[in-house]
Amino acid sequence: MTDKQRNFIQHIIDKDNLSEKFDKRVHTRFPPEPNGYLHIGHAKAICLNFNIAKEYGGKCNLRFDDTNPVSEEIEYVNAIQDDVSWLGYSWDDRLCFASDYFNEMHKYAIQLIQQGDAYICDLSSENIRQSKGNLTEAGKNSPYRERSIEENLKLFSRMTSGEFKDGERTLRAKIDMSHPNLNMRDPVMYRIIHANHHRTKDAWCVYPTYDWAHGLEDSIESITHSLCSIEFEDHRPLYDWYLNRLGVYHPQQIEFARLNLDYTVMSKRKLKKLVDKKHVSGWDDPRMPTISGMRRRGYTARAIRDFMNEVGVAKRDNIMELAKLEYYLRQDLNKISERRMAVLNPIKVVITNYQKNSSEMLEAINNPENSSSGVRDISFSRELYIEQNDFMEDPPKKFFRLAPGREIRLRYAYFITCNEVVKDDLGNPIELRCTYDPKTKGGNAADGRKVKATLHWVNAQDSINATVNLYDRLFSDPSPDSAENFLTVMNPNSLEVSSKCMLEKSLLEFAPGETVQFERLGYFCPDLITSEEKPVFNRTVTLRDSWSKITKG
């Protein structure tokens, strides 16, 4: 990698190592809040923090910022660990929690009170918000700002012992209510929350705010470079103020641009609303941009990591195309996915000149991109299924697939010619009666004649019936966050369920997490949620980007 190819964070760390600012140490952390599942935006932060640590021979902690017991659950803690591990990263023995440091944070809060740098405020959260002012108007000092150190210490002790109700009092830093940065206008450090914490249970009823806890966690863990997304840039002066006033070890906070994708919402609040309002089946719905949802859909960790390398690290936010992520996914799946045949909307084909109650085995290639994947045997008999849209009774000029009197090739099998169409009472084709040429076994004619179409198929004799979920983009608008109500631009066709699909028998051998290419149709994987009635497969991605044609057309 040339000097120009290195990102600005690497340049900062290179300079720090030259000056021995942190004794040439590099120690990062990924600090999720366990109040929801991780999404693709978090994957950028995960890759960045763990990769930076690896590049410099350093360490990266996985730290849960569990400072709000109301919104946090052990389910989220477990899911986050699963996702980080699945992406290919290990935190070794460095699994940390903000709650590990509650005692130390509390002692540091008492230190600030003793220094005259913090006070107990009786204003409600709404009154505090109103007194903050705005960018053009200074805030107003709290009437409780000049309480004595002794009174503040007593009140904080009473808060901690549970004498007050939720929201009745807060501990605030005493900084400057006219500061141009609103985050510096006497921010709240502790609030009263009578709720059971997933780790500390009911040991505490006062909990630190994120801004108070953030810098202390980094300091306690001896983090060198605290990498944060760009919205924390305005919080850095507060991060610095707390650590400087306490006189403790001071890491360096560096902000980078968040990942934004078109056709996607990244707000945890909005994603939770989708889940709570049952617009999706859960956090791991394959349409969700959560890592769990993408895993269930069949995404690979390598594709996500490759995409993050393409995104790179910048200082300002931009919007990446979802199509680019899907490009890296197809690139990876094309190399690793075995091929199988599946028919999503079947119509029966009867080979009238093929012997009844007979069958034979044909050889099929598992993956033409990977010779080591070998070959497999597929069965062929008198009755088959093909896709309904691969047949037209009265085809237009450029339709080259099966039609009355036309000859086509069946993949790995024979040339067949359609001779008769059987219809139902409504005139819809329900069966095609064809003849085959036994001299074209393997798909090539001995006399050298050519056909213009090759169709996939399955043997009706031993194919399996399955449900296939055809997932598409959850939103039809490329900028759903710009809509007045993001729910109004949901894609009504984001899920199509097909229960009549007929699949090659060998697809039963694939397990959840294994992706396979249905020839001519796309990439699919067995659903993590199994069905006792029949197999369920999810479409991971189509073979080609169909959305670019829609949006540009």
Q: Three-state DSSP class for 113?
A: helix
Which domains can be identified in the chain, with CATH numbers?
8-256 (3.40.50.620), 268-338+466-552 (2.40.240.10), 342-456 (2.40.240.10)
**Residues written for the chain:** 553
Taking residue 64's Cβ as centre, other Cβ atoms within 10 Å add up to: 24
Question: Which tokens go with 198?
Answer: 């997933």
pLDDT tens track of the chain, all 553 residues? Answer: 455 578 999 999 999 999 999 999 999 999 999 999 999 999 999 999 999 999 999 999 999 999 999 999 999 999 999 999 999 999 999 999 999 999 999 999 999 999 999 999 999 999 999 999 999 999 999 999 999 999 999 999 999 999 999 999 999 999 999 999 999 999 999 999 999 999 999 999 999 999 999 999 999 999 999 999 999 999 999 999 999 999 999 999 999 999 999 999 999 999 999 999 999 999 999 999 999 999 999 999 999 999 999 999 999 888 999 999 999 999 999 999 999 999 999 999 999 999 999 999 999 999 999 999 999 999 999 999 999 999 999 999 999 999 999 999 999 999 999 999 999 999 999 999 999 999 999 988 888 889 999 999 999 999 999 999 999 999 999 999 999 999 999 999 999 999 999 999 999 999 998 999 999 999 999 998 876 779 999 999 999 876 554 444 4
Question: Which tokens go with 532?
Answer: 């006792």
Q: How far apart (Å, rounded) are the C-alpha atoms in residues 332 and 357?
A: 41
pTM for this model (two decimals): 0.93
pLDDT for position 238? 98
Question: Which tokens go with 43?
Answer: 């994957």
Is the separation of the CB atoms in 26 and 52 below 8 Å?
yes
pLDDT for position 548? 53
Q: How far apart (Å, rounded) are the C-alpha atoms in residues 523 and 503?
A: 14
Tokens 């479409």 identify what position?
539
Q: How far is CA 266 from CA 58, 138, 250, 471, in A?
A: 30, 33, 31, 19
Q: How far is CA 548 from CA 143, 150, 322, 389, 471, in A?
A: 59, 66, 10, 23, 17
Is the separation of the CB atoms in 464 and 503 below 8 Å?
yes
Q: Are strands 318-320 and 259-261 parallel, antiparallel or unpaired?
A: parallel
Q: Three-state DSSP class for 380?
A: strand
pLDDT for position 443? 85
pLDDT for position 551? 45
Residue 325, exposed/middle/buried by CB under 10 A (0-12, 13-18, 19+)? buried
pLDDT for position 316? 86
The DSSP result for 182-243, as a single string, is: GGGSS-EEEEE----BTTTBTS-SEEE-HHHHHHHHHHHTT-SEEEEEGGGGGGHHHHHHHH
Is the separation of the CB atoms in 275 and 245 below 8 Å?
no
In tens, the pLDDT along 392-419 reads 999 999 999 999 999 999 999 999 999 9
Q: How far apart (Å, rounded) are the C-alpha atoms in residues 396 and 386?
A: 20
pLDDT for position 531? 67
Of the candidates 54, 41, 65, the one whose C-alpha atom is nearest the C-alpha of residue 10 is: 54
Residues tagged active-site: 33, 258, 268
Q: How far apart (Å, rounded) are the C-alpha atoms in residues 430 and 385?
A: 11
Tokens 């960790």 identify what position?
301
